[in-house]
Each structure stands twice: as C-alpha cells, then as structure tokens.
C-alpha cells in the first residue's frame, strides 16, 4: 500500500483522477484533466509523458496496451492498485483541508457552494 508522505501536485492528482474511469492514451488524459479541473490544469505533451514516466517508475500507473494509429504508437495507461489508493487518499486529505475552510464560511455568504469548494481546493493545492 502506497502512503502519500506529502501532498501530490495538482497535475499528478488530475492525471491519476483521469485514469479512475479506465485506461486512456495521452491525448485522452490531457482532455480529461482539462475537463476535471474546469480548465485550470493544461498539460503540455512533454509534461504529461514525463509525469506518466515518473508515475510508472513509482508503480502508480502502468501501460495497459499499445497500438499503432496513423503510423504512430499510442500507449494506453491505467491506474495500478497503488495509484488508485494514492489518489483516493489524496482526495480524502484535500476534502479534510477544504472542510477547514468551508466549515468557517457563514451560511448565506457569497462564498458558499461550488465557489467555496473551488477556493478550498485551490488553497489545498497551493500547499501541494
């Protein structure tokens, strides 16, 4: 079981989160990360593949399969059990961190609902 000794970076978190639904190829991961983060996390191809290589070296993702599309290899990545455990633990950690902020917000204030959660997640990500 992998324990997060420190918070993971926001791009890493969203890469792992994108793979929760099943294997994806690089472009699919980039699109999912963009959607999951409400457009906040934009992964350049080099950053994505560098991150995937580091995650694979840590045993958090693995290559599911490769295929050739238009003459180019396309690798599909999947979460390992350790990767799933890590992203779930990180989600719980951020949820606890967000609760510190959301629990202090007065009901009816302009800083409630989805904007409060986004702000709390940004705060938690700043410490990552």
Q: What is the pLDDT of residues 66-84, one digit of tens each?
A: 988 888 888 999 999 999 9
Going along the chain from its start, the domains and CATH numbers come out as 10-126 (1.10.10.10)
pLDDT tens track for 109-122:
655 555 655 666 66
Q: What integer is the mean pLDDT of 98-102?
A: 87
Sequence-distant (≥ 6) Cβ neighbours of residue 103 within 8 angstroms: none
3-state secondary structure of 1: coil
C-alpha–C-alpha distance, residues 104 and 62, integer Å? 41
pLDDT above 70 covers a percentage of the chain that reads: 78
Judged against a pLDDT cut of 60, whether residue 124 lies above it is answered with no
The pLDDT value recorded for residue 85 is: 96
Tokens representing 60? 């958090």
* Per-chain mean pLDDT for the chain: 85
pLDDT score at 104: 81
pTM: 0.76
DSSP 21: G
pLDDT grade, residue 14 (50/70/90)?
A: very high
Q: CA-CA distance, 51 to 15, in Å (whole number)?
A: 9
């Amino acid at each position: 079981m992998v324990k997060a000794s420190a918070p993971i970076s926001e791009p890493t978190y969203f890469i792992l989160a994108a793979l929760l639904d099943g294997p994806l190829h690089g472009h699919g991961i980039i699109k999912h990360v963009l959607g999951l983060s409400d457009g906040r996390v934009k992964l350049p191809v080099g950053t994505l593949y560098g991150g995937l290589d580091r995650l694979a070296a840590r045993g958090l993702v693995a290559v599911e399969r490769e295929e050739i599309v238009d003459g180019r290899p396309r690798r599909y990545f999947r979460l390992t059990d350790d990767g799933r455990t890590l992203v779930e633990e990180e989600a719980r950690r951020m949820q606890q961190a967000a609760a510190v902020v959301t629990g202090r917000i007065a009901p009816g204030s302009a800083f409630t609902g989805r904007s409060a959660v986004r702000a709390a997640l940004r705060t938690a990500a700043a410490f990552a």
